[in-house]
Amino acid sequence: MLLQRTRLPPLQLLKHQSMSARCQVHRSICQWTDIMGMGYDYEKIEIRESVMRKIFKLCLVLLVVLIFAAGCGAAKESEGKNFAVITDHMEREVIISTDPQRIISLSPSNTEIAFALGLGDRMVGVTDYCNYPEEALEVAKIGGFSKPNMEAVLALEPDLVLAGNKHEEQVKKLEEMNIPVLVLIPESMDEVFEAMTMVAKAAGKSQEADTLITDLKNRLKTIESKVSSIQEQDRVRVYYEVSSDPLMSAGSASVINEVISLAGGKNIFADLAERYPKISQEVLIERNPQFILYPGSHGSEGFNPKEIAARPMWNNITAVKENKLFNVNADTISRPGPRLIEAVEKLAAMFYPEMFPKDNG
């Protein structure tokens, strides 16, 4: 009897064949090996190949994990060599090699944050507008907020600079000089807490920041627990005047709007997206605020309560009729710093004296 030999494809090509083709090959192999008595077990080979493929895939996964772990380890090792590595509000990675001892602030809010964290003894330079706390008045001045004197800044040899949203040019120059600069642009209460955490990490004051933030949040919770029971329609309508000429107020993007809201008030221009939008007198009168707030630090005759009440048609406004025009500290209500909570407390007591009898007045 003549044997009919069947040409078999290499085993490594079988996986590329269709199911019917593989079955045909399988039958051919079985016929050939049965005749020759070779006991060729194709199913075992299939199992062996499947196991090898799984092992290969597992090895690939392990390799990826090892590479990732090595990268993380390198990052941790890099961070371990520095005092702190921080991502600021501009999404910049700021590397601080040593515990900073000579800090300069380029904005009043940053100065208040630094002092609140107990860094007053390390402050070597602040702006002309940094007027709080009183200790800040004794620190060397480096010029204005929008245009600080960079020669004065560099002469003070800072090892950390706290910048703001108007300091793009200054940040670039400081980076070229390899001086660590942390850009803080808090635009809400939560972002103020973030800024505190960043500064604390940069200066080794994380524990102090945790204590401070916990205290501030607890004070806010105390207010919220009282004003949260006030129905939306019963919340007092509030107008905050930023400027009298042109007439400007605080929109929803301003931190002033958040302070008013947290105090249980309803900003009558919260529907405007701009931070400080121009408004019309007609719309203001139509929205009829129950409280009119104006900043007391501008020293403008336009912010005199008698002058405000005497404006044409303003005598129809409820706040004017009930003599509820109040001078507020512009710094506490508009600076994104720790004193925002103080502003919330004072406004809440002003709006709802029956709820905050001890705080009123």
Top-confidence residue, 195 or 36: 195
Is the pLDDT at 336 greater than 70? The verdict is: yes
pLDDT tens string 278-326? 999 999 999 999 999 999 754 444 578 899 999 999 999 999 999 999 9
CATH superfamily of 228-351: Nitrogenase molybdenum iron protein domain (3.40.50.1980)
Residue 361 has a pLDDT of 44
What CATH number does domain 86-204 carry, 3.40.50.1970, 3.40.50.2300, 3.40.47.10, 3.40.50.1980? 3.40.50.1980
How many CB atoms are located within 10 Å of the residue 194 CB? 16
pLDDT tens string 256-280? 999 999 999 999 999 999 999 999 9
What percent of the chain is modeled with pLDDT above 70? 79
Residue 56 has a pLDDT of 73
Residue 38 has a pLDDT of 45
Is the pLDDT at 94 greater than 80? The verdict is: yes
pLDDT band at 1 (very low <50, low <70, confident <90, very high): very low
Is the distance from CB of 290 to CB of 236 less than 8 angstroms?
A: yes
Domain(s) of CATH 3.40.50.1980: residues in the chain: 86-204, 228-351
101, two tokens: 């001892």
The pTM (predicted TM-score) of the whole model is 0.77
Is the pLDDT at 23 greater than 70? The verdict is: no
Residue 55 has a pLDDT of 77
Average confidence score pLDDT of the chain: 86
Using CA atoms of 110, 201, 184, 135 in order, give the dihedral in degrees to the nearest 10. 0
How many CB atoms are located within 10 Å of the residue 7 CB? 5
174, two tokens: 């400081």
Residue 37 has a pLDDT of 43
The phi-psi region of residue 299 (left if phi > 0; otherwise alpha if psi is between -120 and 50; otherwise beta) is left
DSSP string, 36-72: HT----HHHHHHHHHHHHHHHHHHHHHHHHHHHHHHH
pLDDT tens string 139-160? 999 999 999 999 999 999 999 9
pLDDT tens string 27-86? 544 444 443 444 445 455 556 666 677 777 777 777 766 766 655 555 454 446 899 999
How many CB atoms are located within 10 Å of the residue 201 CB? 18
The 3-state DSSP class for residue 19 equals helix
Classify burial at 105, counting beta carbons within 10 Å of its beta carbon; exposed 0-12, middle 13-18, buried 19 or more. Answer: buried
243, two tokens: 């400027």
Is the pLDDT at 14 greater than 50? The verdict is: no
Q: Is the peptide bond before 246 cis (omega within 30 degrees of 0)?
A: yes
The 3-state DSSP class for residue 73 equals helix
Alpha helices (runs of H) in 156-274, residue ranges in sequence order: 168-176, 189-203, 206-227, 255-262
CA 112 to chain centre: 18
Is the pLDDT at 123 greater than 70? The verdict is: yes
Residue 69 has a pLDDT of 61
| Residue type (1 letter), 148 | P
